[in-house]
Structure 1
């Protein structure tokens, strides 16, 4: 796991909730793509940045049960 992106996720939960139920692609401290289709998000992020993004699936709600 990449530290910069992971630390950004922890520090900015309010930003990620804008994309509840979607995948977000991070490069550094920036969300460069988002959407419901993993492959499309990965492709868009790669095309925009030329770098491999960190992909995170934002839970649909803060009440989601994790087992």
Structure 2
């Protein structure tokens, strides 16, 4: 018996945007859908907010992962 477990949520945290877009093109994602995803990921920035102080870090570029909003 074999058991394979995959934590898909964690897997998306490390997806490189350039590699993702290349793979989507290779599997035949249409131009309109590809462009939409690309515009969503291109020049992405993020910041860190500390709950206990209410401070927010400077923005920094994001090259991998998916967007999440946590409160």
Common fold, TM-score beyond 0.5? no
- Point out the structure with max Rg over C-alpha: 2
Q: TM-score with structure 2 length normalisation? A: 0.31
Which structure is higher in strand share? 1
Q: Report 1 or 2 for greater relative contact order, CA contacts < 8 Å, sequence distance ≥ 6.
A: 2
